[in-house]
Amino acid sequence: MSNRLDAERPILLVEDSIHDAELLCHALEEEMDPSRIVHVRDGVAALEWLEGTVHRAGRLPQLVLVDLKMPRMTGMELLAHLRSDSRFRHLPVVMMTSSNHTEDLIAAYDNGVNAYVRKPLEFTEFSAIVRHLMHFWVTINLIPPDEAA
């Protein structure tokens, strides 16, 4: 199975901070077509977008990048929802956060996160991390075919 088939799948960015979302989108745009990036501001909006996408197109995103602390529904709550729903349980989810709390790291892995990344403060380092993430999760990593289709 080649990831070339997934070249049109979007990347879902779930981030409430406009500043962090802009930085992430800028870093992501260095690696891919910016039209593939879908930004929502919390877990509730992410679930609504996922439900609509499955209903309309039957295609899931290739990757979900999730912030930990957000209003309405936290990244941890979103992760729990995704892992409890058979349509979304295999979606690759990367938690990107500024949290240094070991409890958050452990809870994320307990809830089925695929990777947990701390956001560095310096843009050059942040951009390099995003490039490495995209190279692995979008170019190298294989994901199961859509189960929702």
Instruction: Go through the domains of the chain in sequence order and give each one's CATH number.
Output: 3-133 (3.40.50.2300)
Tokens of 12: 């879902």
Ranges of the chain whose pLDDT falls below 70: 1-7, 55, 146-149
Kindly report the pTM of this predicted structure.
0.87
Note the pLDDT tens digit of each residue in 73-114.
999 999 999 999 998 999 999 999 988 899 999 999 999 999
pLDDT at 40: 95
Q: Are strands 63-66 and 11-14 parallel, antiparallel or unpaired?
A: parallel
